[in-house]
Structure 1
């Protein structure tokens, strides 16, 4: 066997191992659901897959985290549309509200507790809270926005 073949095989096996570690507990995304188009894969689907890995496995890579619990991550929006603009993300791979199951309720309850905590601690009174459906998301991963100008 040539050394190139052996190195290729080792890199492939290592990649499988790393992929197994990173993508454990992600919701299956069928290739058909990733919408291959003439431009390539839908960016929001790929971004959702990577967001799932980062939020669950390496939340320290996310800048400007303002609150973290065992089930929720809250951080400043990277491109704020309001004076105060935060993102609330469950630490479970949920693509959208329409896919919620009973096993997801503890994550959603924790997320709303985090919302109340931030609203109270920042003394926000005139705010907006929203989440977009899967076709309106830039990142196909359930998240909520909290925006306020006060």
Structure 2
């Protein structure tokens, strides 16, 4: 399902440009326009999901695929997988209402402000591990 006003849906439809690193039938990976570190990618599902808080237990395979592909893209582009952060902004603190996983590396080189914006397990940013546990424990 595409949202005609969503910038990420426009990227999927090639109506908006982005530096794309990976694409398959389900997901797309592109460079963040305001990188927090040397490597900062966004992994999105091609179909429109409003945000991480809309994921259900049935979306766990999609989440795992997003994580695996994000790590793979980071590794293929010489990013440091031992010094990375994977996570989601939590509504209402997300600027784009389309699910997107941030893949950031190296975290050790993030500035003070960006390290706060992407601070793990805060009210505004949750890690991929948090989301995995949340979905695994969710009722169907």
Shift of 1:104: 3.3
TM-score after normalising by structure 1:
0.58
Larger proportion of helix: 1
Question: What SS class does the counterpart of residue 95 from structure 2 fall into?
Answer: coil
TM-score after normalising by structure 2:
0.62
Partner of 1:16: none
Larger proportion of strand: 2
The structure-2 alpha-carbon separation of the partners of 1:132 and 1:72, relative to structure 1 and needing over 3 Å to count, comes to same
RMSD: 2.6
Aligned residues: 105
String of CA shifts for 1:6-39, please: whole Å, max 9, x gaps: xxxxxxxxxxxxxxxxxxx248xxxxxxxxxxxx
* Distance in 1 (alpha carbons) for counterparts of 2:46 and 2:88: 16
Shift of 1:102: 5.0
Q: Can you give the 5+ residue segments of structure 2 that lack an aligned partner in the other structure?
A: 110-140
* Distance in 2 (alpha carbons) for counterparts of 1:140 and 1:100: 13
Q: Can you give the 5+ residue segments of structure 1 that lack an aligned partner in the other structure?
A: 1-24, 28-47
The structure-2 alpha-carbon separation of the partners of 1:117 and 1:98, relative to structure 1 and needing over 3 Å to count, comes to same
Q: 2:98 aligns with which of 141, 146, 149?
A: 141
Shift of 1:119: 3.6
* Distance in 1 (alpha carbons) for counterparts of 2:72 and 2:10: 24
